[in-house]
Amino acid sequence: MRGGRKALLKVIILGDSGVGKTSLMNQYVNNKFSTQYKATIGADFLTKEVLVEERSVTMQIWDTAGQERFQSLGVAFYRGADCCALVYDVNNVKSFENLDSWRDEFLLQANPRDPENFPFVVIGNKVDVEESKRQVTQKRAMAWCQQKGNIPYFETSAKEGINVEQAFFTIAKNSLKQEADVELYSDFPDPIKIDGDTSVAKSAGCEC
Amino acid sequence: MWTLPTPVDASSFWQTIKENDLFSAQKSKENESSTTMLRSVWATIQNVFDTKQPPFRIVLRTQGGQDSAAYGHMIAVAESLKEIEADWAWIEGTLLPEMKELEDKADKAAYALSKFTSLVQTREADSDEKSSDAKFRAAARSWRQLFRLPESERLVNFYSCSYHRRLMNQGWMYISLSYCCFYSFVLGTETKVIIELKDIEELTKEKSKRGMVSDSIKIHFFSNLFQRDETFELLEYLTNMAMQKLLKATTTDPAPGLSIQQQESQAEILTSPAAVLGFVTASDASRPLKQAFEIQKRNSKFQWLFNLPSAETILEDVAVICSISGTNTSFQGKLYLSDTFLCFLSTAKYQCQLALPFFAIMRVERINSQTSTVAITARHQLKLLFQFTGERQQADKFCNSLKDRLQAHVAMMKRLKPFLTTCPSEDLLAGRDLQVGGLGVTYGYVDAKRQAQAVEKSKLRYWISYFRAEFGRNLTLVRLPTFIKLVRIGLPNALRGEMWELCSGAMYKRFLGEGYYNKLHADYGGRTSLSTEEIEKDLNRSLPEYSGYQTPEGINALRRVLYAYSYHEPEIGYCQAMNIVVSVLLIYLTEEQAFWVLTVLCERMLPGYYTVNMVGAVIDNHVFVTLVERFMPILGDHFKEHEIQLSVACLPWFLSLYINSLPLPYALRIMDCFFMEGAKVLFQVGLAILKINGDAILKVRDDGELMNVLKSYFGKLGDVLQGSGENARPTTKFNQLMLTAYREFQNVTNDLIVDLRKTHQLKVIQSMDLYAKRSVVRSLTFTSKFTKDELLYLCDQFYTAQFYTTSAGKKQADRLDLPQFKQLLARIAPWASFDSEQDDQLARSGGEASGKPVVGADFIDKLFAKVFDQNADGLVDLQDIVRGLGKMIHEGAAGALDVFMRAHDGDGDGKLSKEETIQVSETLLFLTRRLEGDSHLGSVSSFLNRAFAAAAAAAAASASEAESSGQTTQEAFSLSSATLTKVILADDFLETFFSETLQQTFVLQNSGTGVQQKIFAPPIQEISESLWSGGLKWATGRMAAGRKAAGGAVAAGSGAAAQGDKAGQTDGAADAAASAAGGKGGAKMIDASDDDADDDGALLLEEVDSLLREADLGGTESEMASGAAEVSPA
Ligand SMILES: Nc1nc2c(ncn2[C@@H]2O[C@H](COP(=O)(O)OP(=O)(O)OP(=O)(O)O)[C@@H](O)[C@H]2O)c(=O)[nH]1
Ligand SMILES: [Mg+2]
């Protein structure tokens, strides 16, 4: 039943401060780049209507603060996310190394039904910067994505608008897929918030 | 134990046991009280009055002094005869010979007195027993004896109260730096409660003097707290301190504002809990902590009231009537004198407030007519009259102090003139252009309205007339109601910076801290740290739309202020949102001014907001949610129903003072009020925003929709609303917002905010602590077979061990050294705890624990060195602990034996020497020392036999092998791992021990409740029971014997006495019980009177029955019946 699906997709963008999350979101939603964005305090979001597989859906894109200490403010809005974009700056190796903990943190807080198969997308941003500044190779990034369960990987530039559309399209498509999967066992109540326990998802998975 | 000489009177409760000219050793007669029950009543009384005295003492006879009631000075006390004899021996052997030269007895006494005083003072250099308050000293002593907490622990205060545990137990609550303890001894039942402050999750005051403390395990109720509010406040304060410290411990990263070099060179800052409290300085040692705590509380309230730097303390305060020349009104209020300021606050709210620094005072005159008055002339033609309303003496004292303070500040006066050139109000009055200021002077200001210039001009006119009215300005400004109004309508751009600086108190800090800002740059400039990196990322993302920040000048100013703060407070370093706030400050203020305002923001106005865990912001978010629920319950319910987290929308409001959410001109207006009135303004505005948009908000179903509603509202703040009433003027949505904030939420006061913050603090910190521990546990790479909860528990105990002990050497945030490891082990395995051994020793010797090590106790040292500390650096981390314990617990007998082998194999050759094998047996004894019975003793000795036999056999075998191969071997004892295993598994007891018992000794969950009840004299119910079972015979016998002797006067022993002398009967019952419990002694007596017992058994059964009923001592009917059933066959 198509009508049963919710027409709203919730996407969370995570990554270190300054990797370009806000710029990516604005490039995608408003098709423009500006040097006038402020550092994100807490969280903010924009929405965009997209057409995926002939269906029009609203994407609610949540942009978050990157500084580590903001994690302790609680990240209530992670709940109910359909997809999570992990962003790093290809010219900053630390932002890449932190992807692990961003992913863990997300899974812990969002507590999705099926953490093993939750749709992530990894974005290496700022590829427009001169090659000599680059610190993380495509190969290294792809190896990481492979190891974490074949996460789709994109290299983008929010500044030049390179690959941004494609990255977000994949985000939308995969969220939708997740939606469809979830529907199969939507009769099950939400798992009680304890920790990243997979038991609910597994028992549900057996049904199909 | 020597005590500080304390006057005592000759009391008939003491019996002298030894005596010479000067001293007498005495024994309390209390111990002689013939019956257990009476003793226990005694103890109860002592407990209730906290007069518990050790049973032995030595008195220095000094009678004949001025105080005739005093009979002498108590100079020593002891729990046992042995101990008092030792003290006595010292007096006879050392002290008396020393005093041989002194002829006069009085001289001798004086010498002895000073001798003991100095003895005690050196010993108790910084412990509470030195306190001048005798009662406190006594309490501190009993607290130490009762609870045996670490040496460094210090008692803060003690309160009479009762603890609820089925019954009410009246006793004492002892509050120390890290514990809340309770002790009662009521009718033979001792109740001890130890609550670790850091475990407390909630403190609640209930009606009727009841209070509740709940920690992670259970809820404790205390009542009859006569000083409940004080107790509560103290507990709250200390608990919060303990939590903060704990939270710091789990945050293992170095301070973000420290450069790499600094991090490395930084010495250990681990501090004792006392030092963490800040107010406990060395000089306070003689003063009870509680007093220090109260003084601090009073001072911080004072600083907060007048926005003064945290060094200011109240020196004097008096009631006065204040009049200001230029007004006709006078104000009743209080005048305070602190280190640098003369402050006045009117009793009526908002009427008059003033903080006048001494260096701005030009003249002080005492006018002595009928009333005592001082006239003060300050800079800026400010003339004030203070008429003292209290006693003359007080006024004199105050004026003398004032004179002293003024003299001390003469030198500072010459700094005033240059300082005033940095105040725009001076330029305004002189009609000059602004001399110094923020970026706004060059790059302009942001205004909402088109007629901005006209508005600015008319506002300035108001201000100038306020200054001209001789109400002072900048450093001397008096805050009258007009001032408050002028701020609330929005500050003019030219004065905005100055008023922010003044209202927040930053101006005083700048004056007093002259040169500090530049020195920070001189000392630290050029260093890089995590914080400076983060700052660099954000410089261009602070207020990019403002033209000043599109130039290097603006960016550099921003950089320098943020850098300076990260040098100033490396623990905070830099937090996003600070950049946004500072970028706005810098439009109106110079770098140095902005820096000082930032310090006030971080320290006082928004405490804890920008710290590494942002705990202050989280707490305020909880406070905000509580306020929403309280003032707008319908909205509150709506948020709950849809699980909407207000924090998503509201946290940025608070963190960036609304700058990020509202158009800047409106945010500035809120900042004006915020700096003048404090954090409550942020809450009032937030509540008003929700209230005004209430209808729309009731329709939203998730966080996103809520944010949309709010965003669109913020976009329309400049819209004009047509007033609905008759003479209502049109007003902007923003004005409506501010009016709503002040009118509808006037009950949201700073006091309320402070109270709510305290209420939420504990929960927030506890949950953050849990969060931090979760991530520590998640980062473990090897978790053996422990469950998540067990790991969390281990992690908790790990940090607890660290919390209570301070290790020497460099700070090792996530590691334990040996003493800490021992603590940890003692917390999770009973055999590693020596508390009860100490108790036993104490019971035996009656004195201090001898400290003799328990045989085999060095097993723990071996475990640490050989098993847990894998890299042999003297430290273990949580991973080491998990690995080691996993081996001991989850790998069966093989794992446990391997641990054993490794621990004892000193040279690591895989074989145990003779010596080491003996040590193994000692360890076995050590581990099993708490077991019941003595079957394990046999097993251990048979282990030794077998081990030696096996070793001998092995030696023989290898010897014969060597012989046959023609080599010679030394006859060496060696036990291989395989042999050890074989030998151990051959014994049934040891086999079970290594495969089950040892593993089961570990307790990896919270089991203790912190409550211990010990029954010394058996409680009443048991008394009756034992009376029935064993005691009856004896009682019967005694009574029968008595009857024979008295010639049939049975009634005296039983029936009649039931009505007459209940106490006597109680004694009898207790005696019976005591002898029944006492075992052999009692049994003998029973034997002796056995014959008679049979004769009158039936009759007495009835008598005793009625006795028990009369005395209301009996258990239930059924107990009686079953007791009777047992007895009747006899
Ligand atoms: N050259 C280049 N610069 C970029 C790109 N994307 C963003 N930036 C710049 O990187 C800086 C940080 O970008 P933001 O989008 O604000 O970063 P963020 O991830 O949102 O940071 P936080 O809000 O602090 O978590 C800004 O100065 C951007 O102009 C890009 O694709 N190429
Ligand atoms: Mg951002």
Give the residue ranges of DSSP H helices in A6-151.
21-30, 93-97, 99-110, 138-147
Evaluate if residue B1063 carries a pLDDT over 50: no
Task: Give chain B positions within 8 Å (CB) of A35.
Answer: 540, 544
User: Are A70 and B534 in contact (CB < 8 Å)?
Assistant: no
**Res. B89 pLDDT band, cuts 50 70 90:** confident
ipTM at complex level = 0.86
Evaluate if residue B25 carries a pLDDT over 50: yes
Shortest distance, CA A21 to any CA of chain B (angstroms): 13
Residue in B534, B614, B648 closest to A72 by CB: B614
Q: What is the mean pLDDT of residues B784-813?
A: 74
**Alpha carbon of A14 to ligand 2 centroid (Å):** 10
Shortest distance, CA A73 to any CA of chain B (angstroms): 6
By CA distance, what is B702's nearest residue in A?
A77
* Residue predicted with more confidence, B257 or A161: A161
pLDDT in tens, B176-192: 888 888 888 776 677 88
Identify the residue whose tokens are 């830099």: B574
pLDDT at B253: 64
Evaluate if residue B826 carries a pLDDT over 90: no
pLDDT at B1099: 36
**Alpha carbon of A21 to ligand 2 centroid (Å):** 5
pLDDT in tens, B946-995: 888 887 777 777 766 656 665 544 556 777 888 888 888 888 888 888 88
pLDDT in tens, B241-254: 777 777 666 655 66
Contact criterion met (CB below 8 Å) for B857 and B850: no
pLDDT at B723: 65
Q: What is the mean pLDDT of residues B563-569?
A: 93
What is the Cα gyration radius of chain B? 38
Contact criterion met (CB below 8 Å) for B863 and B900: no
**3-state class (DSSP) for residue B563:** helix
pLDDT in tens, B621-637: 999 999 999 999 999 99
Give the residue ranges of DSSP H helices in B693-787.
694-697, 703-715, 733-744, 750-778
Residue in A10, A41, A45 closest to B580 by CB: A41
Evaluate if residue B1045 carries a pLDDT over 70: no
Token pair for B881: 């602990």
pLDDT at B677: 92
Give the lowest-confidence range in A136-140, B656-660, B814-818. B814-818
pLDDT at B847: 44
CB pairs A-B closer than 8 Å: 86
DSSP per residue over B483-544, as a string?
HHHHHHT---HHHHHHHHHHHHTHHHHHHHTTTHHHHHHHHHTT--BHHHHHHHHHGGGSST
pLDDT in tens, B403-420: 888 888 888 888 888 899
Contact criterion met (CB below 8 Å) for A105 and A73: no
Shortest distance, CA A42 to any CA of chain B (angstroms): 6
Burial of A79-117, coded b for 16+ CB within 10 Å and e otherwise, reads bbbbbbbbbbbbbbeebbebbeebbebbbbbbbbbbbee
Could you say which DSSP state residue B853 is in?
P
**3-state class (DSSP) for residue B596:** helix
pLDDT at B106: 75
What distance in Å separates the CA atoms of residue B193 and residue B182, rounded to the nearest whole number? 5
- Which among A37, A69, A106 is the top mutation candidate for probing chain B, defined by the most B β-carbons within 10 Å of its own β-carbon? A69
pLDDT at B325: 79
- Which residue's CA is the nearest one to ligand 1's atom 32? A126
User: Are B704 and A18 in contact (CB < 8 Å)?
Assistant: no
pLDDT at B641: 93
Evaluate if residue B316 carries a pLDDT over 60: yes
Which of B114-128, B349-363, B755-769, B1034-1048 tops mean pLDDT?
Answer: B349-363
Evaluate if residue B1112 carries a pLDDT over 60: no
Q: Which residues have CB less than 5 Å away from ligand 2 (the ion)?
A: A 21-22, 40
Percent of chain B with pLDDT over 90: 22
What distance in Å separates the CA atoms of residue B1104 and residue B1026, rounded to the nearest whole number? 13
Task: Give chain B positions within 8 Å (CB) of A108.
Answer: 774, 778
**Res. B838 pLDDT band, cuts 50 70 90:** low
**Res. A155 pLDDT band, cuts 50 70 90:** very high
**3-state class (DSSP) for residue B320:** strand
- Which residue's CA is the nearest one to ligand 1's atom 22? A17
Q: What is the mean pLDDT of residues B209-237?
A: 67
Q: Rounded mean pLDDT of chain B?
A: 76
Q: What is the mean pLDDT of residues B671-686?
A: 95
Q: What is the mean pLDDT of residues B191-204?
A: 81
What distance in Å separates the CA atoms of residue B98 and residue B115, rounded to the nearest whole number? 11
Shortest distance, CA A24 to any CA of chain B (angstroms): 15
User: Are A35 and B540 in contact (CB < 8 Å)?
Assistant: yes
pLDDT at B450: 65
Chain B CB within 8 Å of residue A37 CB:
yes
pLDDT in tens, B920-943: 888 888 888 777 767 777 788 888
How far is the CA of B1123 from the CAs of B7, B1017, B1091, B1103, in angstroms? 53, 20, 21, 14
Chain B CB within 8 Å of residue A71 CB:
no
What distance in Å separates the CA atoms of residue B307 and residue B1065, rounded to the nearest whole number? 68
What distance in Å separates the CA atoms of residue B382 and residue B777, rounded to the nearest whole number? 64
Ligand 1, CB cutoff 6 Å, lining residues: A 17-23, 35, 37, 39-40, 65-66, 125-126, 128-129, 157-159; B 540-541
Percent of chain A with pLDDT over 70: 81
**Res. B271 pLDDT band, cuts 50 70 90:** very low
Touching A: B residues 625-654, CB under 8 Å: 643, 645, 647-648, 651-652
